[in-house]
Amino acid sequence: MIRVEHLTKVYQRVKRKEGVLGGLRTLFSTEYETTRAVDDISFHIDEGELVGYIGPNGAGKSTSIKMLCGILVPTSGHIEVNGLVPHKERMTNALQIGAVFGQKTQLWWDVPVIESLRLFRDMYKVPEAQFKHNLNLFNELLDLHEFQNTPVRQLSLGQRLRADLAGALLHNPRLLFLDEPMIGVDVVVKERMRTFIKEINHDRRVTILLTTHDMTDIEKVCSRIMIIDHGHIVYDGNIEKMRAQYGTQRTLVVEFEEEVPEFSVPHATLTRTEGKKKWFAFNRFETNPSTLITYVSTQYPILDLAVEEPEIEAIVRTIYQQLPASVEKAER
């Protein structure tokens, strides 16, 4: 469905000078600074996949999505979206993709939601039967009818994002790009949108690329995860594999019958003490919980214990932190 080979995007911008006079000097400047927003990435996405695309701010997520949409030309490398080269066949590509950019709406600000959707219908030449069928579906799954006659500027954020999602799916696209589609919405709306995204993916076989900063989205929705940083893809695979590869650290939480002094345990480190509770971090390849528990129970009487799995958020944090921070500065 999507084939990306050695994709690179370099931005070139006039270098800004500081201060008041600097602003004036910028007018005559011939100095440019270049940023490698996307640096030699390759990946394939098959039809029907639901891929989480994550990375810190400025990692190159939006740049790569824009290239897939055909509204940004790659500096080098090759992209193919369902057999088309997006920036060469932008308008044909537009018919087979849908996109939601959470930061800005694509609906018309002043007119009721339903009117924006009608204009989409005319732009994408959606048959009337399909239009009605899709509206019914959106009413059912997104409660669109509750606010379809309200102008977009009066919608709450959650309603606006739901309306944008409906607009992106009206023409039955084969592919859906969601760039932070749930930014800033409450848990209830979030849950509803997640369910909707999963259903669209499952029932209509729509291939979805989802960008988010919320790891719960990734855990609940995605079957595969790609992590990008400084323009490089640093991880590509499913969540279980990521847990196995990076989530080697676990924690044993022990509650003793009374407060006990600090003591050391082989192959584990004491990370936290709180009243009668103590947290021991250990690597699951070096030791295992039962050995640890046996050892600890010989030291002091135990009241309760638990083993904490690493949270996906913590794993991602580990991956981000392991990345070389020097890549960006090496440019110029």
For residue 164, give the amino acid letter.
D
Stretch that binds other proteins, among 114-122, 194-202, 289-297, 317-325 (CB under 8 A): 114-122
Of the residues 124, 279, 300, 320, which one makes contact with other proteins according to CB under 8 A: 124
Say how far apart CA 301 and CA 151 lie, in whole Å.
Answer: 65
Stretch that binds other proteins, among 42-50, 102-110, 189-197, 310-318 (CB under 8 A): 102-110
The helix (run of H) or strand (run of E) holding residue 295 is helix 289-299
| Phi, psi at 183, each rounded to 5° | -70, 120
Residue 27 sits in the site that holds other proteins (CB under 8 A): no
Calculate ∠ Cα 330-62-246, nearest 5°: 70
Residue 129 sits in the site that holds other proteins (CB under 8 A): no
Least separation in angstroms between residue 155's CB and other proteins is: 14
User: Of the two residues 59 and 292, which places its CB atom closer to other proteins in the complex?
Assistant: 59
Q: Please check whether residue 228 is in contact with residue 52, taking contact to mean a CB–CB distance below 8 angstroms.
A: no
Of the residues 1, 71, 323, 327, which one makes contact with other proteins according to CB under 8 A: 71
The helix (run of H) or strand (run of E) holding residue 141 is helix 128-142
Residue 66 sits in the site that holds other proteins (CB under 8 A): yes
Least separation in angstroms between residue 147's CB and other proteins is: 15
Say how far apart CA 14 and CA 256 lie, in whole Å.
Answer: 63
Least separation in angstroms between residue 106's CB and other proteins is: 4
User: Of the two residues 115 and 311, which places its CB atom closer to other proteins in the complex?
Assistant: 115
Of the residues 22, 42, 46, 73, which one makes contact with other proteins according to CB under 8 A: 73
Footprint of other proteins on 212-231 (CB under 8 A): none
Q: How far is CA 238 from CA 18, 99, 165, 198, 243, in A?
A: 45, 24, 26, 16, 9
DSSP state of 84: B
Q: Please check whether residue 46 is in contact with residue 208, taking contact to mean a CB–CB distance below 8 angstroms.
A: no
Residue 101 sits in the site that holds other proteins (CB under 8 A): yes
Least separation in angstroms between residue 91's CB and other proteins is: 5
Of the residues 7, 68, 81, 94, which one makes contact with other proteins according to CB under 8 A: 94
Q: Please check whether residue 311 is in contact with residue 319, taking contact to mean a CB–CB distance below 8 angstroms.
A: no
Of the residues 3, 17, 25, 87, which one makes contact with other proteins according to CB under 8 A: 87
Least separation in angstroms between residue 25's CB and other proteins is: 19
Residue 140 sits in the site that holds other proteins (CB under 8 A): no
Q: In residues, how long is the chain? A: 332
Footprint of other proteins on 143-162 (CB under 8 A): 151
Q: Please check whether residue 280 is in contact with residue 252, taking contact to mean a CB–CB distance below 8 angstroms.
A: yes
Segments in 146-238 forming alpha helices (H)? 157-169, 187-203, 215-221
Pairing state of beta strands 2-14 and 32-45?
antiparallel
Structure tokens at 68: 């897939």
- Per-residue contact flags (x/-) with other proteins for residues 191 to 210, judged by CB under 8 A: --------------------
Which residues of the chain form contacts with other proteins (CB under 8 A)? Answer: 11-13, 63, 66, 69-73, 87, 90-92, 94-95, 99, 101, 104-106, 108, 110-112, 115, 118-119, 122-124, 151
